[in-house]
Every structure is written in C-alpha cells, then in structure tokens.
Amino acid sequence: MKQTYEKQREAMVKEQLLGRDITDEEVLKAFLKVPREEFVKEKDRRWAYDDYPLSIGYGATISQPYIVALMCQILKLDKNSVVLDIGTGSGYAAAILSKIASKVITVERICELAEIAKERLKRLGYSNIEVIYGDGFKGYAKGAPYDGIMVSAATEKIADAWVEQLRVGGRIVYPKYDGIEQTLVEVLKTQSGIKEILHGGVRFVPLIK
C-alpha cells in the first residue's frame, strides 16, 4: 500500500506540478517527501493525490496540491527561511513548507483543527513546525520577522500585522476576494512600501474574523 501512495505521489508531481508551471526544484522535492494521504480523512485516502481540494471537516479543506506548490514557488524561500503559514487546516501546507524552509509557524483559529494538526505533525516527525491556536489576522509577532507569509484563506485585504511582521524583501501570498471572485496575489515588501503582483484565479474558504 505504501508503495502505491509513493507511485501516486510521483505521478502527482509529474503531471500536476511539472506538467504545469512548477519549476522550483526545492518545491518539487518537498512534494515528493510529504505523504498527503496522512493529511486527509481516512475515507478519502484513495483520492489523496487527485487534482482537487478535499474537505477535512470544520468547514476547512486541504488545498489542491498545485495551488500549494504555486504559493510555495511564489514565496521564493530557501533553507534559511522562516515562514508564517496562516490557516493550518490539515497541516499539509505547513509540512511542505517545513521541507523547504528552516522554520514554520502555522496559525489556526479552530481549536480542534489546530490540535489535530499538532498531533499529526508530531506523529509524522516534523520538528521544525510550531502550531499556534489563534487569529491569523494578527499574524504571530513572537516569531517575526518572516521571510514569507502564506495565507490559505481568502480575504479582501492583507492585515497590517502581516506587513509589519515581514522582513523587507519578503513576500506574502494570499487569495484576494473582491466580492465576486478570488485572485492569488503576491505582495513584495520593499524599503518604500509594498508592491502587488497578480497571479491567477483561485478558490479558498474565507479567512474568518
């Protein structure tokens, strides 16, 4: 069974990531290392490597692998990076980020999800991830400054706290909701302020206040 998942994982990387526009070697390597079947509901394991998000309960979803890969690639991280992940959900994106960066702090506002993710990441041996139960809009000042911030739930605008907690030269990637649709936005922090770069259309659950 284990080998089956491994084969599915390799096929997912080849078809859904390399087959699209994911070229960052470290991102591709990370996706080969994280067992996505461990992050979905038991009954959904056979669909763990399919090209779409899956419900994980509490109104949350584990994002489509390609979108997580795209967000990682946009952040341009390296092995020294410290990353803030907002919306822990299953913990999958945090696990992927932990294979690329040196430290990941992940914030989740639903206590049960935070607890489940914490247990899961501990059981699977991820030692450079800290799961925080709290409000992602506030970021997490104690771990700042961050080299990258990944926001996995849609919001109309970025929180001031995120920009404050980001180092100059760092990036935020988030789904921007304009009342009708969502666009993936890259925010670059420069000495003189922030610059926004638009990527494609996406669909995330809302970031809740």
What residue ranges in the chain does DSSP mark as E strands? 54-57, 60-62, 82-86, 103-108, 129-133, 146-151, 166-177, 182-190, 193-202
Query: Interface with ligand SAH includes 86 (CB under 6 A)?
Result: yes
Distances (CA, A) of 178 to 107, 139, 181: 24, 22, 6
Do you find a cis peptide bond into 145, omega within 30 degrees of 0? yes
> Should residue 153 be labelled a site residue for ligand SAH when binding is judged by CB under 6 A?
yes
Contact 146, 163 (CB under 8 A): no
Query: Which residue number, 3 or 54, has a Cβ lying nearer to ligand SAH?
Result: 54
Q: Is 63 in the site for ligand SAH (CB under 6 A)?
A: yes
Per CB under 6 A, does 27 bind ligand SAH?
A: no
84 binds ligand SAH (CB under 6 A): no
Interacting residue with ligand SAH among 66, 137, 140, 177 (CB under 6 A): 137
The neighbour count for residue 203, using CB atoms within 10 Å, is 14
**Which of these ranges, 70-78, 134-142, 176-184, 194-202, lies near ligand SAH under the rule CB under 6 A?**
134-142
151 lines the binding site for ligand SAH (CB under 6 A): no
Kindly tell me which of 53 and 192 has the beta carbon lying closer to ligand SAH: 53
Q: Does 98 bind ligand SAH (CB under 6 A)?
A: no
111 lies in the site for ligand SAH, by CB under 6 A: no
Residue 60 in contact with ligand SAH, rule: CB under 6 A: yes
Structure token digits, residue 189: 């922090």
d(CA 17, CA 30): 12
Q: Is residue 97 a contact point for ligand SAH (CB under 6 A)?
A: no
Count CA atoms closer than 13 A to 110's CA, side-chain side.
17
Number of residues that bind ligand SAH (CB under 6 A): 23
CA atoms within 13 A on the CB side of 208: 9
Among 17, 40, 93, 184, which residue interacts with ligand SAH (rule: CB under 6 A)? Answer: 93
Query: In the annotation, is 63 catalytic?
Result: yes
Contact flag: residue 89 with ligand SAH (CB under 6 A): yes
**Residue owning tokens 């969502």:** 182
Q: Which of 63, 81, 90, 98 is catalytic?
A: 63
Cα separation of 97 and 105, whole Å?
10
Which residues are annotated as catalytic? 63
Residues that bind ligand SAH (CB under 6 A): 60-63, 86-87, 89-90, 92-93, 107-110, 113, 135-137, 152-153, 205, 207-208
